[in-house]
Structure 1
């Protein structure tokens, strides 16, 4: 299995929040920059900037163009990518972990960090 993106691409991925249920990663790159192969679990992706990139998994590749403010489901996958546009990429990934037990105290409002 490919590496965790924070380990394999620390110049691009930063952990901005983590608990027993989710991990939130911030991703940034500049035009022409590439990542090395890495793996994502099931995640929700929120694009903070508009960008174009090429994603490669094995012998498959796909070019995507995303608009700022897009929210979408990202199924678990391994890939590497390249910014093929002329704008920086800025994205948040909310990675899902195994479901944790919940108490009544956890059901109202946001939790403290």
Structure 2
């Protein structure tokens, strides 16, 4: 009996599945894990302003944000993969605004053009009056 061969056939898919689950469940803060696409422009105890840039067909890694307002600087087309591996595609136009609920996601630019947007994250802690 060749235990290594049998175990290898079972173990490899199990290890692959566990590593994918770990990657999706251990999402981290975007500016720390993907500074190529996310840059903090301003930060205080009330908000954090992040500039987001993706080149044509660029993809990030699983990460998360706190909830905040989105301001789209350019037109864009993206795909967002969530920890449960469901995907959602979205299109937006320059000048549109929206809201981000702060979910974990893995974004991908589906366009042949770069896109840029601003995320204004709202801090939980509000200043004393």
Q: TM-score, normalised by structure 1?
A: 0.86
Task: Please show how residues 30-49 of structure 1 align to structure 2 within 5 Å.
Answer: 30-49=55-74
Q: Does 1:22 align with 2:47?
A: yes
Supply the RMSD in Å over aligned alpha carbons: 1.1
Q: Does 1:91 align with 2:117?
A: yes
Equivalent residues, number: 103
Which sections of structure 2, spanning at least 5 residues, go unmatched? 1-25
Note the alpha carbon deviations across 1:26-69, whole angstroms, 9 max, x for none: 00011111000100111101000001011000221011111001
Tell me, in whole angstroms, the C-alpha distance in 2 between the residues paired with 1:87 and 1:102: 44
Runs (4 or more) in structure 1 with deviation over 2 Å come to none
The higher radius of gyration belongs to 2
Q: Does 1:77 align with 2:111?
A: no
Q: TM-score, normalised by structure 2?
A: 0.76
Note the alpha carbon deviations across 1:52-96, whole angstroms, 9 max, x for none: 011000221011111001111111200011111122110000001
1 or 2, which has the higher helix percentage?
2
Which sections of structure 1, spanning at least 5 residues, go unmatched? 104-113
